[in-house]
Amino acid sequence: MNSPIFLFILSGICFSSVDAIAKILVQDTNLIAVVWSRFFGQLLLAAPIAWYFLGKNFWRTRHLGLQLFRSCLLVATATLFFAGLNWLPLAEASSITFTAPIWVAILSGSILGERVGLKEWLIAGVGFLGILFIARPGSAIFHLAALLLVMMAFLNAIFQLYTRKLTQDSAYTTFFYSGIVGLIASTALLPYADPLPVLPVYEYALFGLLGLLGGFAHLLVVLAFYQMRPYKLTPLVFLQLIWAVGYGYLIFGQLPDGLSALGMVLIAASGIWLIWNHHSAGVEDPNKT
């Protein structure tokens, strides 16, 4: 099927699959190797696809500094998220990262010069209340890894906002830079990583699947956004919470408790409202590549 809605939903399933695989691998291996695999797989897809659609000059950009900065943000968000997965349940970790639209609403004033009104601040507060229901600072279940995921969501919002500034470059060029910068950065860190232990054969296969699924998911998002405006598709990203809960239960035997589920609902509701409110104000959501 070539429907943009189908493509976008399929990308969400792929992203959630990547998250589940990453949680398995970071618990058994090391974080840097997992990040390296993620971007190696993306580059394997991005380079030939960009060459096919744009020709041999696919790497040319009018905003090299911005492309590099944005790609470094993506590396940081992937690293923080995979690190947080080592300690937190998959569904709760994923839901905290979905506060990115809330951060986008708050930061769009300073980065894009957009007006952020009282209503936006109040809805953002509802989303952050959801984080408190999930993380519960001061309780026995609180873990500092939750702060890593809040930072990840914050950086992801900046990543999304700066993506809006790259509209003069092809999405395939941006897709390529995300992969190459991520691979270079993670390769530079490999000498500092612990050696991989002897793993079951299936976990070596998971490393390859992690990268390819991650790159494929980004490609699906690009194809979906080429056919339909982002603001119509972006609310569907919260369907990933369903896939995250499913993977968390089936693979790790984890289900959110009542307060965590309430927090997830608050985050999703506030995020969807802010996305649609930005559209009604004449602001489109960013392309995620």
pTM (predicted TM-score): 0.85
Encode burial over 2-26: b for 16+ CB neighbours within 10 A, e otherwise.
eebeebbbbbbbbbbbbbbbbbbbb
Residue 286 pLDDT: 42
pLDDT tens digits, one per residue of 62-98: 899 999 999 999 999 999 999 999 999 999 999 998 8
Residue 116 CA, distance from chain mean position: 24
Residue 283 pLDDT: 44
pLDDT tens digits, one per residue of 216-263: 888 888 778 777 766 677 778 888 999 999 999 999 999 999 989 999
Report how far residue 107's alpha carbon sits from residue 114's, in angstroms, rounded to the nearest whole number.
9
Yes or no: say if 182 and 38 are a contact pair by the CB < 8 Å rule: yes
pLDDT tens digits, one per residue of 106-156: 776 666 566 667 787 888 888 888 888 888 876 666 788 889 999 999 998
